[in-house]
Amino acid sequence: MFYVIGLGLSDEKDITIRGLEAVQGSTRVYLEAYTSILMVQKDRLEEFYGKQLIVADRDMVETESDDILRGADKEDVSLLVVGDPFGATTHTDIILRARSLKIPTRVIHNASIMNAVGACGLQLYNFGQTVSLVFFTDTWKPDSFYDRVKENSDLGMHTLILLDIKVKEQSEENLARGRKIYEPPRYMSIPQAVSQLLEIEELRQSGTLDADTTLAIAVSRVGGGEGNERIVAGTLSELRDQPETAFGEPLHSLVIVGKKLHHLEAEYAESFAVDAQLWRDVAQRVYKCNFD
């Protein structure tokens, strides 16, 4: 059997019992280590699981999947994924590859940012399409995400924006020269994300986003518990102007609040606001929330 197992959002104890049993019964266990990060080191996972883990980077998962799947028709092999296997990043390619090789597959689910974002107080039923925001460069500023944000906004829905991470990335020069030299890891911050959003709004000028009247909620390390998880709410300009340290350690995500904001959602999120009075004022005046 080839297992794809979600690890959840925080530490070694977030794995499900079903997932742990599959790990302990596997001959080889791979840890996917490029689409997200876990809040603990690999050795803590190994100690808790009682298994040695093989780190699977982007090259291995995308171009060397045959090595991962080798022998999985005769023994159990597991691929561990932070969050849920079909959450923010899907792993359909390697599952389809396994099926094409007639290898039985099984997915074991867990929590991901896609449902844990409800910790900010917004109702999951009121979320529209999730989008990803990548690092801009001087010559590359993709803005297709904006269309999804606008579509959600036009429907009054919230938008979950997943911020870019760069792990084991090569510079253009090293990539062109075929040198296996990798850049230091980078994680997009909330102020940078908001600045990029407003930059595209300035270009599009559709009125979807406004620095002073669009409410947003920044979340980091959701599920990490007290002292680790961080939630900060405010207008886009408030979040842009906060120091990066205000948002805690990566990974970060950002929610653009939709205009169908319910007063219970607004009241819940108010406890995370940079300025509670301003949050309430904008929710009442712009989002038409009735707190009475």
Question: Could you tell me if 128 and 151 are in contact, meaning their C-beta atoms sit under 8 angstroms apart?
Answer: yes
pTM: 0.91
Using one digit for the tens of pLDDT, what is the confidence trace for 125-137? Answer: 999 999 999 999 9
**pLDDT score, position 60:** 78
> Does the pLDDT value for residue 10 go beyond 90?
no
pLDDT value at residue 98: 95
Residue type, 171: S
216-250 per-position pLDDT tens digit = 999 999 887 777 899 999 999 999 999 999 999 88
Share of the chain above pLDDT 90, in %: 73
Roughly what angle, to the nearest 10 degrees, separates helices 263-270 and 276-285?
A: 160
Identify the residue with better confidence: 100 or 176.
100
Report the SS3 class of residue 56.
strand
The Cα–Cα gap between 216 and 287 comes to 12
Nearest to 75 by CA among 2, 155, 23, 165: 2
Which helix (H) or strand (E) covers residue 240, if one does? Answer: helix 236-241
| β-bridge partners, 31 | 55, 80
* Element spanning 81, H or E: strand 77-81
Residues paired with 3 in a beta bridge: 78, 106
Helix (H), strand (E) counts: the chain: 12, 12
Average pLDDT along the chain: 91
- Residue keyed to tokens 């499900």: 16
Rounded Cα–Cα distance for residues 49 and 25 (Å): 10
